[in-house]
Amino acid sequence: MLTLALPKGRLADESVELLIKKKWLLIKPDESTRELTFTDSLAKVKILLVKAQDVATYVEECAADAGIIGWDTLKEGKYDLLSPVDLNIGKCRLSLAGSVDFDLKNYSRKIRVATKYPHLTKDFFFSKGLNCEIIKLYGSIELAPLCGLSDCIVDLVSTGATLKANGLEEKEIILESTARLVFNRNSIYRNRSEALQFVKDLSPN
């Protein structure tokens, strides 16, 4: 039986639906329970429900054989993991956003950027020959430019509704992101037959 780390929230829901469709799970975990592990009667996978930013750590440190993680998180953390499958779920994009009149061309000084993605943000600005000051936040990123904490933000965008509601607009897409199936290197060899079957079954047709 493989141990699979899933991020709590919308991506976990999409992942569970995929696992049921591919016959690796029989039923959804009970949403009313506070339990953070789940194994159904098929006993093919044991689910660990963890924070999105912790999935890669659980897998990398061999607490889980595999995990499902956004490409954005995977690129930001530069983890030593195998990523054999793009699951084509959890679609979103990492984007630069700012007020309607925000324009990178107007900045000769260091630009203050609020984000949960400091490494990807620095890479993006440096690729444009621009210097930036990273203000790392863990939530409500859209608030930062509204109260003068930053000039702009770099954050995940799905529909853009939250940006619009806060008077911001998407300026440039930095990275397109979908969910990836990842393995730690030990597990994919130790559980080779199960892992290869899992990869085969979850690969988009």
- Residue-level pLDDT at 30: 73
- Residue-level pLDDT at 174: 97
Average pLDDT rounded to a whole number, residues 59-69: 95
Distance, first Cα to last Cα, the chain: 24
- Residue-level pLDDT at 43: 86
pLDDT at 108 over 80: no
Q: Which two tokens stand for residue 42?
A: 């098929």
- The residue among 177, 196, 193 whose CA lies nearest residue 87 is 177
Domains belonging to the chain, first-starting first, are 2-90+178-202 (3.40.190.10), 92-176 (3.40.190.10)
pLDDT band at 78 (very low <50, low <70, confident <90, very high): confident
Spatial contact of 135 and 175, defined as CB atoms under 8 Å apart: no
| Residue 99: CB atoms within 10 Å | 15
pTM, two decimal places:
0.87
- Residue-level pLDDT at 32: 67
Average pLDDT rounded to a whole number, residues 29-55: 85
Per cent of the chain over pLDDT 90 is 74
pLDDT band at 204 (very low <50, low <70, confident <90, very high): confident
